[in-house]
Amino acid sequence: MTEKADAKSGNSDGYPLAGLKVLDFSRVLAGPFAGRMLSDLGADVVKIEPPDGDITRLWGHVVANIPGYYHQQNAGKRDICIDLRAEGAIALVAELVAEADILIENYRPDVMPRLGLGYDALQAINPRLIMLSISGFGQGGPESHRAAYAPIIHAEAGLMHRQAARGNVPLTDLPLSIADTNASLHGLVGLLSAVILRERTGRGQHIDIAMIDATIATDDQVHYAIEDSEGLGPLPNEVFETAAGTVLLSADLRYIWHLFTTKLGVSDPTNKDMDLATKIGLRRDAAAQLMAKLATWDEVEATMAKVNLAWGKVRDPATLMDQPTVAARGAITQVDDRAGGTRPITQSPYRFSNADSGVRGPAPHRGEHNVEVLGQWLGKSEALVAQLTKAGVLHAEVSVD
């Protein structure tokens, strides 16, 4: 994995998606994450940001006026800040659309058509345009009007209920925005499929991704619910304390107990006259006593190797950069922090045998590339960009570089 591509110029020789031009109208996560992955793969991704900015500019540790959440999802992109309500703004967008391969948006389904930027209008400008629309409940359905962030879909798709029921914990949201990232990744599959199809047909596509569809499609446990077979699934994995720290064993207690008694010599403290709950409790305690005697991670690994059990250290995410594989593979890397140093960021997960991928630079300021992109994509002069700025079509925050 290299970082030789220059996001500012769009040069990405050696990257799989080199040459693709992407307009990213999205905000928060479901759309921006898709755009970030396209950038990591070499596309020239231009974020179209409103004057009040993506709300994620308010979240996370701020370095050089760029907060961490926004930085992670928008690294490597360029940025044009357009007030879509200003006179002349839609005409400028139309010029950009004429040059684009892909457009990403994650507004509610009525927003882009109301702005004059619905797919029918954009296709008339550029028949080869591939448009990805991500929304909570999809286009044209009974709930298309509803606003939806990831927690709404976690609730509606049953994830919160399952978490509470299986873990015997209060109802609470998941600790990551899985509905957003699932929709984003399925959107990427759709986009790249449409790019391949366009090579055969010459036509673009409008891809309608509903977050609820993507979440259900990616839910490997949903069949237990829809076939009323929850009781036929595997028992939960077991978590034990060792002297080295907390460990998760990827197996249920029945299998763990079989291995501990047959391979590690643990004695069964139960008898045939005990009820099942008592037997389970005593056997779990006996297994826990063995695990508690393991003093180091080397002992944990050696013991688990004897019984061929997969195990994992229950890690504080603040120590993630110390995880051996994360460190060895560079899953968290460092990029320019725009303040004379570097800052950590998640790296592209794609590893190619004969191509490049990877984060291609820090996230942009609002309107940072107004002059650059409009010059490169549309041939507009700095003077014309200045006129558009004076007219209120374009905006730019003061850079701290």
Which residues belong to the active site? 180
- The DSSP 8-state label assigned to residue 8 in this structure reads T
Residues in CB range of 297: below 8 A, 6 or more apart: 244, 245, 313
- The DSSP 8-state label assigned to residue 5 in this structure reads -
CB of 6 within 8 A of CB of 360?
Answer: yes
Structure tokens at 385: 């960009």
Separation of alpha carbons 329 and 347, rounded Å: 9
Count CB neighbours of 217 within 10 A: 12
Residue 353: half-sphere exposure toward Cβ, Cα within 13 Å: 0
CB of 249 within 8 A of CB of 256?
Answer: yes
C-alpha torsion angle, residues 386, 388, 394, 397 (rounded to 10): 20
- The DSSP 8-state label assigned to residue 11 in this structure reads B
What one-letter code names the amino acid at 251? A
> Residue 171 — φ and ψ, nearest 5°?
-65, 125
Separation of alpha carbons 8 and 23, rounded Å: 15
Structure tokens at 118: 């619905």
Of all helices (H) and strands (E), which one includes residue 42? none
**Distances, alpha carbon 262 to alpha carbons 122, 242, 248, 258, 307, in Å:** 67, 21, 20, 6, 9
What DSSP string runs through 49-73?
Answer: E-TT--GGGGSS-EETTEEHHHHHH
